[in-house]
Amino acid sequence: MKSISPKIAAAGSLVPKRNDMDAILSPEPTLLPLFTSLRREPTRPVALRDPSFDQQFDATTLFFDAFHCEHSNRIVLLGPPLFNLGPAFAAMKGVALPSHTPCPFELRRLDRHMQIWLNAPRGTTRLRFSGTLGEFEVAIAPPAPSPFRGRRVIFTLSKDNEIEWIRDWIRFNRDIHGADAVLIYDNESSRYTTRELLSAIRSVSGVAEAAVVHWPFRYGPQGTLARGLWDSDFCQLGAWEHARRRFLADARSAMNCDIDELVLCTDGTSIFQKAESSPFGIARYLGRWVVATDEPNSANLPRHRDFDVALRPQMERSRFFLKRDVVACFPKWTLVPHRCPDRTQWKVHTIGGWLPARLTTPGVGFRHFREIGGNWKYDRKVREPSDPARHVRDEALARTFDRVNWSR
């Protein structure tokens, strides 16, 4: 796998750099304003939209990326849901170029996500679509061997996270879980370039493969815990399916984990081992918040290893009269990609359409660090007075920190 400059890249093409191990990839999106006056319209009622909704909503991206899938003639185009554009697109005609072969397509409608699948002759470099939506061409990235074949990969979406946080996140997963590869989707960071981010990743010892994907799409309006309002955040779900289809199909295993999250196994084993040895090839686990109860030292950048106080579980009965921890974090997962059924969807907290992904793995959990990360959702830096009824020292986390080499 090779590297490119995002500013000069053409539709995901790759240009050689120093070696084949690392890459910066910049997909070329297909944008509605290039060929039509139509736009994606939100499904959320106007009364439930906050003042920033329109600014955050992605009304113009038709496809994030389009590429050949390795091992087949199939091409996949990934994008946000079509919504009101659905009937017009379903009636479109597709033609492969340069062969001019007609290409009927399959439209898959997923949660906040859409995929177009089709077969095309070898050598297809572009697709031409025509119909009531307009006429336009889509560049198709060529097939390429997966850079992560046989690797244990940690992957995430990130924006402006501190470089030292990212390096510490890699070091932890390297030493505790045996991760040897890193894939980061950079959502338009302004504090450093994608090349600087890639260089930081490569500076960590033990990273055999790495890639940074320039992912310049609007994250999307947030929802609420109420059902039906998580309807407009397309960016991360698109990145997850892009990672799955373009990079991780041949990975040994892959961990979905944010920079402010660290996974622990109570028996001290690797989460990758847990997933690889599980009956269905997946481990899924809840999280606990790790907080700070003292006054911050403004002179020092907080680091993961500075914090080992967790929120105690708060058990309450649900509407179904089952007890649950109301302060637990929503689940995350690690899986073996080739054991995940094709028609499922990689989502942030589960695998959509796959019953085994609804189970949780005993003896596994992740820690969610309130002090690590920005305040883009809400102010996470407001500290509470220490309260034994609410806070407890996380002995397992403290012991695990001692197993990490934070200096290399």
- pLDDT surpassing 60 at residue 8: no
Among the candidates 105, 139, 173, a domain finishes at 139
Q: Tell whether 65 and 204 lie within a shared domain.
A: no
Phi, psi of 393 (to 5 degrees): -70, 130
Q: For 339-390, how does the pLDDT look when each residue is reduced to its tens digit (9 = 90+)?
A: 999 999 999 999 999 999 999 999 999 999 999 986 555 556 677 888 888 9
Domain assignment of residue 21, yes or no: no
Domain assignment of residue 315, yes or no: yes
Q: Tell whether 216 and 117 lie within a shared domain.
A: no
In total, how many domains does the chain have? Answer: 2
Give the span between the Cα atoms of 237 and 242, in whole angstroms.
Answer: 9
Domain assignment of residue 22, yes or no: no
Residue 106 region by backbone torsions, left for phi larger than 0, else alpha for psi between -120 and 50, else beta: beta
Q: Tell whether 120 and 177 lie within a shared domain.
A: no
Q: Tell whether 91 and 169 lie within a shared domain.
A: no
- pLDDT surpassing 90 at residue 294: no
Q: Tell whether 356 and 386 lie within a shared domain.
A: yes
- pLDDT surpassing 70 at residue 5: no
Length reported for the chain: 408
- Tell me the average pLDDT across 114-133: 95
Distances 293 to 2, 298, 371 between C-alpha atoms, Å: 46, 15, 11
First CA to last CA across the chain, in angstroms?
25
- pLDDT surpassing 60 at residue 90: yes
Q: Tell whether 374 and 232 lie within a shared domain.
A: yes
**Single pTM value for the model:** 0.91
Give the span between the Cα atoms of 408 and 400, in whole angstroms.
Answer: 17
- pLDDT surpassing 80 at residue 18: no
Label residue 224 by pLDDT band (50, 70, 90): confident
- Helix/strand/coil for 317: strand
DSSP class of residue 376?
S
Domain assignment of residue 340, yes or no: yes
Q: Tell whether 182 and 41 lie within a shared domain.
A: no
Q: Tell whether 62 and 165 lie within a shared domain.
A: no
Q: For 249-258, how does the pLDDT look when each residue is reduced to its tens digit (9 = 90+)?
A: 999 999 999 9
* Greatest C-alpha distance within the chain: 70
Q: Tell whether 196 and 65 lie within a shared domain.
A: no
Q: Tell whether 185 and 97 lie within a shared domain.
A: no
Q: Where are the beta strands (DSSP E) in 218-355?
A: 253-256, 261-265, 282-291, 309-311, 315-317, 323-325, 329-335, 345-346, 351-352
Domain assignment of residue 344, yes or no: yes
- pLDDT surpassing 90 at residue 15: no
What per-residue confidence (pLDDT) applies to 61? 98
What per-residue confidence (pLDDT) applies to 13? 33
Among the candidates 84, 116, 139, a domain finishes at 139
Domain assignment of residue 110, yes or no: yes
Q: Tell whether 373 and 284 lie within a shared domain.
A: yes
- Tell me the average pLDDT across 49-65: 96
For residue 100, give its domain range: 28-139
Q: Tell whether 203 and 85 lie within a shared domain.
A: no
Domain assignment of residue 332, yes or no: yes
Domain assignment of residue 17, yes or no: no
> What is the percentage of the chain residues whose pLDDT exceeds 90?
78
What per-residue confidence (pLDDT) applies to 320? 61
- Domain CATH code at residue 54: 2.60.40
> What's the mean per-residue pLDDT of the chain?
89
Among the candidates 95, 116, 139, a domain finishes at 139
Which are the contacts of 322, defined by CB distance < 8 A and separation ≥ 6? none
